[in-house]
Amino acid sequence: MKRRIKLVQQILKEKGLYRGAIDGIFGPLTRRAMAQIEGINPILPITRQVTRFIQISAKERGISIGPIDGLWGPRTNAGFLELEYRLKHGEPQPPWRPDEIEVPNPNRWPVQRTREFDEFFGARGSQIILVDLPYELKLSWDLRAKVRRTRCHAKVADSLQRVLQKVKEIYGEENISKLHLDHFGGCYNERAIRNGTAWSMHSWGIALDFDPTRNQLNWGRDRARLAHPDYHEWWKCWEEEGWISLGRKRNFDWMHVQAARLQE
């Protein structure tokens, strides 16, 4: 409730109706400002007023919200999150539905588990080379262990370096560290996929994991940190090079990114 009232206060402030603190407390100043909004009945319970106001504000900005009924349902909740995002970032939320995310394929990565894939990358564990990383990573399971190089497939090495170089330019090392983008879960590792029998893309050295602690295998975008809007640019860096995020495309295993396309 506090978070909702804060949003209300922020919008009232923008409208020039409120000069108090953005503290999430529905005090006399907030109450008075609210009473000046058309469509808000000050006799209503505070929760109803707040909900109606959020619905009205969303609608004013063209956010689809359903009826203005003062009742907090899933549509109102989605509208609220969108509204909150726009106030913070000054623009609509980037798309997150997998079919809205277009990933180009400039390096012509093959589709995983196809004959084309085998021809492109060869046998598991072949053509593995050591590459320098543009900034220091640390092992997620032992944060004292610094990583300046990693083993990967020779065919993805240049692309991998370009991605991380771009990440470094966009985020800077301070934010990389703050966002745990340097928490590395590994690249080349010959093993089966977790909870499965097929070989993991890690077995060819064409997949990497990041921040596994906060992006656990079965977590969806409601829990996985890498699904947060702060990481939008991060994913764009990978996707510009054709890499596929299982999180972005399948909404699980958000730690994982790979240089192979998925079967549609």
With CB under 5 A as the contact rule, which of the stretches 37-45, 69-77, 235-243, 248-256 interacts with Zn ion?
A: 248-256
With CB under 5 A as the contact rule, which of the stretches 91-99, 122-130, 171-179, 252-260 interacts with Zn ion?
A: 252-260
209 binds Zn ion (CB under 5 A): yes
Q: How far is the CB of 154 from Zn ion (least distance, A)?
A: 19
By C-beta, is 182 or 209 nearer to Zn ion? Answer: 209
By C-beta, is 33 or 207 nearer to Zn ion? Answer: 207
- CA 54 to CA 41: how far, in whole Å? 14
- CA 32 to CA 159: how far, in whole Å? 57
Candidate residues 256, 259, 260, 261; the one interacting with Zn ion per rule CB under 5 A: 256
Helix, coil or strand: residue 54: helix
Q: Which of 221, 240, 217 is nearest to 167 (CA)?
A: 240
Please give the structure tokens belonging to residue 249: 């495309």
By C-beta, is 177 or 189 nearer to Zn ion? Answer: 189
- CA 209 to CA 186: how far, in whole Å? 6
Is residue 94 a contact partner of residue 232, using CB atoms and an 8 Å limit?
yes
Find the residue with minimal CB distance to Zn ion. Answer: 256
Q: How far is the CB of 202 from Zn ion (least distance, A)?
A: 6
- CA 226 to CA 137: how far, in whole Å? 17
- Give the x-and-dash track for 151-190 against Zn ion (CB under 5 A): ----------------------------------------
- CA 74 to CA 137: how far, in whole Å? 39
Binding site for Zn ion (CB under 5 A): 207, 209, 256
